[in-house]
Amino acid sequence: NQFYGNFNGSGYTISGLTINRPETNYVGLFGWAREANLSFIGLVDVNIIGKQRVGALAGQLRDNSWADNCYSTGNVKGQLFASGLVGNLYYGSTIVTCYSSVNVEMVLSPDGNQQAGGLVGRASYNSFILNSFATGKVQGLTSFTGGLIALVTDGTIVENCYATGEIFGERSVGGLVGALQL
């Protein structure tokens, strides 16, 4: 089920969130948020395992969704579009003033198509990432590994952002962005 609406965490934190669904797509506190506003949410010491579109806050934010003043710490594992905060940022969605100190680890997928980012797995279709950062370790396997974002495509704007964590991968590896396809 997709989440539509607003969720304001009012600065409270959720500690020890554990999700163990290695065969499930769209995994996170919000699996799939659409036309949603997520704000002031702190996720501390998460342990999340999913398949595709995996993030501590959301597996996917799309259709002008908004995440602001959110953060995450802990560990995330996934195959495709895995990240510390949002797995897939899509269709005009925005992340602003957020950070992730999550260690992201890729799990080998059968087709070898993998993407891992410290904050976002993939940002595409006119999305925005503003005033945000990532400090976790990102362990990629075969392709697209980025300290902040694994893959940026199709008119996405990234401003005033940085990443400082250790990044490991085999192909298309970057301290900030693994691959840029515009």
The conformation of residue 11, written as its DSSP 8-state character, comes to T
pLDDT of residue 114: 85
Beta bridge partners of 75: 47, 103
Closest CA to 43 of 90, 104, 2, 102: 102
pLDDT of residue 90: 95
pLDDT of residue 119: 98
Contacts of 13 (CB under 8 A, 6+ apart): 42, 43, 44
> What's the chain's average pLDDT?
95
Reply yes or no on whether the pLDDT at 112 is more than 90.
Answer: no
Calculate what percentage of the chain has a pLDDT beyond 90.
90
Closest CA to 59 of 76, 35, 39, 41: 76
pLDDT of residue 107: 87
Residue 62: what are its φ and ψ, rounded to 5°? -145, 170
- The dihedral through the CA atoms of 45, 47, 50, 52 has a sign that is positive
- The dihedral through the CA atoms of 140, 174, 97, 45 has a sign that is positive
pLDDT of residue 109: 76
Tell me if 60 sits within 8 A of 86, measured CB to CB.
yes
The conformation of residue 130, written as its DSSP 8-state character, comes to E
Reply yes or no on whether the pLDDT at 126 is more than 80.
Answer: yes
Work out the pLDDT band at 75, boundaries 50, 70, 90.
Answer: very high
Calculate what percentage of the chain has a pLDDT beyond 70.
99
Question: How confident is the model over 130-164, as pLDDT tens digits?
Answer: 999 999 999 988 789 999 999 999 999 999 999 99
pLDDT of residue 62: 97
Q: How far apart are the C-alpha atoms of 76 and 85, rounded to whole Å? A: 9
Segment 111-115 shows an average pLDDT of: 78
Q: How far apart are the C-alpha atoms of 163 and 138, rounded to whole Å? A: 11
Segment 84-93 shows an average pLDDT of: 98
